Amino acid sequence: MAGRILLVEDDPQIADYIMSGLAEEGFTVDHAANGRDGLFLATDSQFDLVVLDRMLPGMDGLSLLKAMRAAEMPTPVIMLSALASTDDRIAGLTAGADDYLGKPFSFGELLARIQALLRRSAGGGRQAQETTLRCADLELDRLTRQVRRGTRKIALQPREFRLLEYMLMHAGEVVTRTMLLEAVWDYHFDPGTNVIDVHISRLRRKIDDGEEQPLFHTVRGAGYRLAAD
């Protein structure tokens, strides 16, 4: 997965660190060292994602982000900041950020969040328009909100339905905990609970119990996969 990313970061060392890492992963990166230049680039060019520092000269990151959203720009934005309290995260997400990563951070975590957001954006295409999702003999109807495994009708709670819908949209792929927290629970940070494990366990019992072919698979150290193998 690659694409074009705008990095708005005034710290030259952090900027070089991020740009080098993203370039090694095949991304094309444009860089702005202040808020005003960042806003000009964001509104003048087509980017797949913006990595935005919160504290910037010229125009702060929150103001830049609000200007982007006021202009109805849907480009995914990850906000970086040393201000990482719950209130700071809420302020960033409320302003329109899709994710919020506190400094200091590892490049590996930033890359994983970028990839998750790009996958989510790509999911807005053909799969997002389909009304029926399938994996083997498992079928989910988005219009009637009915789920069947073969001829067996399966009753799901709203959160279980949303979880299964997301898994079906990514059938055959490894889905990480971060992806599920963001897409199903709208969390942009790990709440430190086993909420995902509990819901996956319940959903696995409803889908796989009594069936010869299990569809839910745990990928140790990575996440989960829905597939007929």
Among 105, 122, 139, the domain boundary falls at 122
Tell me which of 126 and 23 has the higher pLDDT.
23
Short-list 50, 52, 2, CA closest to 22 = 2
Contact assessment for residue 161 and residue 147, using Cβ atoms and an 8 Å cutoff: yes
Distance CA 156, CA 163 (A): 10
Q: Within this chain, do residues 10 and 53 fall inside the same structural domain, yes or no?
A: yes
What is the percent of the chain with per-residue pLDDT over 70, rounded to a whole number? Answer: 93
Give the distance, in angstroms, between the CA of residue 47 and the centroid of all CA atoms in the same chain.
Answer: 16
Total length of the chain: 229
Q: Within this chain, do residues 102 and 132 fall inside the same structural domain, yes or no?
A: no
Distance CA 22, CA 164 (A): 32
Among 73, 97, 122, the domain boundary falls at 122
pLDDT of residue 164 exceeding 60, the answer is yes
Q: What is the mean pLDDT of residues 203-229?
A: 92
Output the domain CATH number for residue 162: 1.10.10.10
pLDDT at 189: 63
* Torsion on CA atoms 101, 86, 68, 122, rounded to nearest 10: 50
Contacts of 107 (CB under 8 A, 6+ apart): 17, 18, 21
Q: Within this chain, do residues 187 and 174 fall inside the same structural domain, yes or no?
A: yes
pLDDT digits (tens, 9 = 90+) for 12-56: 999 999 999 999 989 999 999 999 999 999 987 789 999 999 999
Short-list 73, 119, 66, 60, CA closest to 96 = 66
pLDDT of residue 127 exceeding 90, the answer is no
* Torsion on CA atoms 100, 103, 104, 106, rounded to nearest 10: 20
Q: Within this chain, do residues 10 and 35 fall inside the same structural domain, yes or no?
A: yes
Q: Within this chain, do residues 12 and 109 fall inside the same structural domain, yes or no?
A: yes
Residue 77: domain span: 4-122
Q: Within this chain, do residues 98 and 33 fall inside the same structural domain, yes or no?
A: yes
Q: Please, how many CA atoms are within 13 Å of residue 151, restricted to the half-sphere of its CB?
A: 0
Tell me which of 64 and 122 has the higher pLDDT.
64
Q: Within this chain, do residues 171 and 217 fall inside the same structural domain, yes or no?
A: yes
Output the domain CATH number for residue 51: 3.40.50.2300
Q: Within this chain, do residues 200 and 161 fall inside the same structural domain, yes or no?
A: yes
pLDDT at 125: 47
Q: Within this chain, do residues 132 and 153 fall inside the same structural domain, yes or no?
A: yes
Q: Within this chain, do residues 42 and 108 fall inside the same structural domain, yes or no?
A: yes
**Tokens encoding 119:** 């996958």
Q: Within this chain, do residues 196 and 176 fall inside the same structural domain, yes or no?
A: yes
Q: How many domains does the chain have?
A: 2
Q: What is the mean pLDDT of residues 129-157?
A: 89
Among 61, 92, 122, the domain boundary falls at 122
Q: Within this chain, do residues 53 and 133 fall inside the same structural domain, yes or no?
A: no
